[in-house]
Structure 1
Amino acid sequence: MNFLSHFYFDRHSEDPHLVLGTVLPDLVKNARKDWNIHPEKKAELFTTDIENSILYGWKRHLAVDRHFHNSAFFFEHTRAIRARIAPYLEDSIVRPSFLAHISLELMLDSSLLTQNHVVAEDLYQHLRQSDRLGMNKFLELNNINDTDHFFKFFDKFIESNYLNSYRESHNLVYALNRICMRIWKDPLTENEMHNLSKTLSEYHEALQENYIEIFDEISLAINP
């Protein structure tokens, strides 16, 4: 799941460090794709309330992704999206299965925004309120020494207010292309983006009927 979908499950929390933890795995990976940390495997290192709140949120992120990626909802919709977009990607270096996966996650974020289940600014506010020294210590305990690089990305992430762009369906393909650019050079042509935009917008509209079911399902699983 993407940032806003992870935030959904703890959107009522008053602990900014817990909320930070729920999106930190993606923030770290987006800051530098070669950073691959597993704080959940060394919980004994974290001794302060801030560190343990971040770790708790991190573990919730992992639990949400585990349930989502093994759900019937995920398999059904990624297969369906892949079938619709594959004809437009026959000559593309972008894998239809990858694009279907990311498309579904962006559609879910967009749906939560447009139907007012989450407010992007609330997430940004939690991130602004997070204690920098505590975050820095958490990262260093996970062998991330170039924390300056992380915080430059972190500040830019907040300042750009990029998540609010997911409100508009036509922005999803632009976001998809940006994600693909982290892996491939010049991933999607203008013609491919045009064809994908129409197809994905139609799928996104149809998804509105039952998308919230996966959030209800995961909420029951992680909040016994």
Structure 2
Amino acid sequence: MRHLDYIYGMNFLSHYYFEQQSSSPEMVLGTVLPDLLKNANKNWSIHPEKKADLFDQTQTSAILQGWKRHLEVDRIFHLAPFFNQKMQELKNLLISILTESPVRPSFLAHIGVELLLDHLLIAHEKINVSKFYEKLDTVNEDALTDFLKLCAIDDVNHFFKFYQSFKSSRYLLSYQKLENIAYALQRICMRLWEHPFTEKTNYQLISILEFYKTQLEVDFMVIFEEIENKLN
């Protein structure tokens, strides 16, 4: 399905980890909404956190609260020594298979670490992906519509078409399998480069991810604990 091309590479599940106990589905949505909007239309660039006074209704305020949490989690994560160390380790493994590829090892390593973290959260039962979708299914869509209009989104219908596809596909359940992480990385690169990988490179990528997963798995929860401590 074509809509699946949009959702590869976003670490939705790592963001959900921090809000999985929330009783507000609108706040849960807010934590992944920046990436949903980015994928629905790459030209949409909004900053509702700069206009917080507009979101005075309970549910639009909850969406904004989730949005702010997303920004804060991203900020802490990308500045963390843990992330930079893990990205460098994976980059070093990828360099040898990308010598004839236009893909930058640092770019692939950045996204690769993020998606491996999503995979490990599932593998170690730190999150329940089905419950994530169940919460999205109970979001008040009128409140979401109001939020988007307050953000001056010019085509709310287009967003909802994408959003419904995102929910109905349940694609993130596929992150349980490592080969789907490799496929996701390939699709991301295909959005930027016409022929990013050869068939041989694809197989090598899966092997590297399988190898590096075992290293990352040893202490992957460190970054989630660090972020959680700084959020609280």
**TM-score w.r.t. length of structure 2:** 0.93
Question: Which runs of 5 or more residues in structure 1 are unaligned?
Answer: none
Q: In structure 1, which of residues 35, 38, 46 is the aligned counterpart of residue 55 of structure 2?
A: 46
Map 1:39-188 to 2 at 5 A: 39-188=48-197
For residues 165-210 of structure 1, the C-alpha deviation after alignment (integer angstroms, 9 at most, x for no partner) is 1111121110111222232323222111111110111101221110
> Within the alignment, does 1:207 sit opposite 2:225 as a pair?
no
Name the amino acid aligned to 1:190: E
Name the amino acid aligned to 1:129: T
Counterpart-to-counterpart distance in 1, 2:44 and 2:132 = 23
Counterpart-to-counterpart distance in 1, 2:192 and 2:134 = 30
Counterpart-to-counterpart distance in 1, 2:104 and 2:62 = 37
Counterpart-to-counterpart distance in 2, 1:58 and 1:131 = 16
Q: CA deviation at 1:84?
A: 0.6
The alignment of Structure 1 onto Structure 2 pairs a total of residues equal to 223
- Worse-matched range after superposition: 188-197 or 65-74: 188-197
Q: In structure 1, which of residues 193, 200, 208 is the aligned counterpart of residue 202 of structure 2?
A: 193
Segments ≥4 residues shifted beyond 3 Å = none
- Worse-matched range after superposition: 109-118 or 164-173: 164-173
Counterpart-to-counterpart distance in 1, 2:97 and 2:151 = 41
Counterpart-to-counterpart distance in 2, 1:45 and 1:221 = 27
**In the alignment, what sits opposite 2:228?**
219
Q: CA deviation at 1:32?
A: 1.2
Cα gap change, 1:136 to 1:185, in 2 (>3 Å):
farther
Counterpart-to-counterpart distance in 2, 1:127 and 1:74 = 28
**In the alignment, what sits opposite 1:35?**
44
Name the amino acid aligned to 1:179: I
Q: Secondary structure at the match of 1:68?
A: helix
For residues 101-141 of structure 1, the C-alpha deviation after alignment (integer angstroms, 9 at most, x for no partner) is 00000000000001100011111111111111111111111
- Worse-matched range after superposition: 187-196 or 106-115: 187-196
Name the amino acid aligned to 2:73: V
- Worse-matched range after superposition: 54-63 or 197-206: 197-206
Q: Secondary structure at the match of 1:42?
A: helix
**TM-score w.r.t. length of structure 1:** 0.96
Sequence identity percentage: 47
Question: Which runs of 5 or more residues in structure 2 are unaligned?
Answer: 1-9
Q: CA deviation at 1:159?
A: 1.1
Name the amino acid aligned to 2:177: E
The root-mean-square deviation of aligned C-alpha atoms, in Å, is 1.1
